[in-house]
């Protein structure tokens, strides 16, 4: 059973004008599609690894055979990161979160606006390609961090609650080199209900619903 590219949960044009149709099409079909294809190719001769969740592969990269470790790190990361990314966005998203995620943001960062500013600043400062995250521990504490390339916080023992893609392929067609503008606009399409579900999964220890689909 090979890993599959999950369908986009809305139309390519659904996140206009924040994210343009062509970017969504290329990003989902080509970029995410290629990570899935390359992950499956890397695992071809390791049938014992094919039944594992992609998150499980990333959790202990040192246990992955050396000849495919980098491929699994990059393409497994690409698959997990993007599977989350499509779901934590929605048309007519944005606004203010409710539930436990709202509480922990307030407790940790003071208020939503200060959290969003810190998150966007961290994303703007990530040199080159990578991701900016809000990640958490099973005790419910959260932190902002950035990772290069397709590295996922799972490899550092943290669970990704939300993340924004700051690779140029995520924004360059519309925003050109203006990454901070993309980061600021992105809050208009975030799906706080899904993000809250992910945070509740972390706190309850039932992470399965938050894992990448196969
Ligand atoms: Mn991407």
For ligand 1, the distance from its centroid to the CA atom of residue 175, given in whole angstroms, is 15
Comparing CA positions, the residue from 6, 36, 40, 46 lying closest to residue 150 is: 36
pLDDT digits over 6-32, tens only? 999 999 999 999 999 999 999 999 999
H helix runs in 17-169, sequence order: 21-25, 33-43, 47-50, 54-59, 66-71, 77-87, 99-109, 112-125
CATH 3.55.40.20 fits 99-204, yes or no: yes
pLDDT at 187 over 90: yes
What does pTM read for this prediction? 0.96
Q: Identify the DSSP state of 212.
A: P
pLDDT at 214: 47
For ligand 1, the distance from its centroid to the CA atom of residue 85, given in whole angstroms, is 9
For ligand 1, the distance from its centroid to the CA atom of residue 5, given in whole angstroms, is 13
For ligand 1, the distance from its centroid to the CA atom of residue 20, given in whole angstroms, is 14
For ligand 1, the distance from its centroid to the CA atom of residue 59, given in whole angstroms, is 20
pLDDT at 1: 67
Domain parsing of the chain, residue ranges? 21-87, 99-204
Give the span between the Cα atoms of 200 and 6, in whole angstroms: 23
For ligand 1, the distance from its centroid to the CA atom of residue 208, given in whole angstroms, is 23
Q: Which two tokens stand for residue 159?
A: 């669970």
Q: Which fold has domain 21-87?
A: Helix Hairpins (1.10.287)
Distances from the Cα of 129 to the Cα of 66, 169, 207, angstroms: 24, 9, 27
Contact 81, 74 (CB under 8 A): no
For ligand 1, the distance from its centroid to the CA atom of residue 78, given in whole angstroms, is 7
Q: What is the mean pLDDT of residues 163-167?
A: 98
For ligand 1, the distance from its centroid to the CA atom of residue 170, given in whole angstroms, is 6
Dihedral (Cα; 54, 60, 64, 68), 10-degree rounding: 60
Q: What is the mean pLDDT of residues 153-166?
A: 97
For ligand 1, the distance from its centroid to the CA atom of residue 13, given in whole angstroms, is 17
* Cα-to-chain-centroid distance, residue 60: 18
- pLDDT band for 205, please (50, 70, 90 cuts): confident
pLDDT at 15: 98
For ligand 1, the distance from its centroid to the CA atom of residue 63, given in whole angstroms, is 26
pLDDT at 78 over 60: yes
pLDDT at 213: 57
User: Other CB atoms closer than 10 Å to residue 205's CB: what's the count?
Assistant: 7
H helix runs in 143-206, sequence order: 172-175, 179-186, 192-204
For ligand 1, the distance from its centroid to the CA atom of residue 64, given in whole angstroms, is 23
């Amino acid at each position: 059973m090979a890993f599959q590219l999950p369908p986009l949960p809305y139309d390519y044009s659904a996140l206009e004008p924040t994210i343009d149709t062509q970017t969504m099409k290329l990003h989902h079909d080509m970029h995410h599609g290629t990570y899935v294809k390359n992950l499956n190719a890397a695992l071809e001769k390791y049938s014992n690894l094919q039944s594992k969740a992609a998150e499980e592969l990333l959790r202990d990269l040192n246990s992955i055979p050396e000849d495919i470790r980098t491929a699994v790190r990059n393409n497994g990361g690409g698959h997990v990161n993007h599977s989350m990314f499509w779901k934590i966005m929605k048309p007519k998203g944005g606004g203010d979160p409710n539930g436990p995620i709202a509480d922990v943001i307030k407790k940790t960062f003071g208020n939503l606006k200060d959290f969003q500013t810190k998150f966007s600043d961290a994303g703007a400062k990530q040199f080159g390609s990578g991701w900016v995250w809000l990640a958490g521990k099973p005790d419910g504490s959260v932190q902002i961090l950035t990772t290069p390339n397709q590295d996922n916080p799972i490899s550092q023992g943290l669970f990704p609650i939300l993340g924004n893609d700051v690779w140029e392929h995520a924004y360059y067609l519309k925003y050109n080199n203006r990454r901070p503008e993309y980061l600021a606009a992105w809050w208009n399409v975030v799906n706080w209900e899904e993000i809250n579900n992910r945070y509740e999964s972390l706190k309850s220890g039932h992470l399965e619903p938050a894992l990448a689909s196969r």
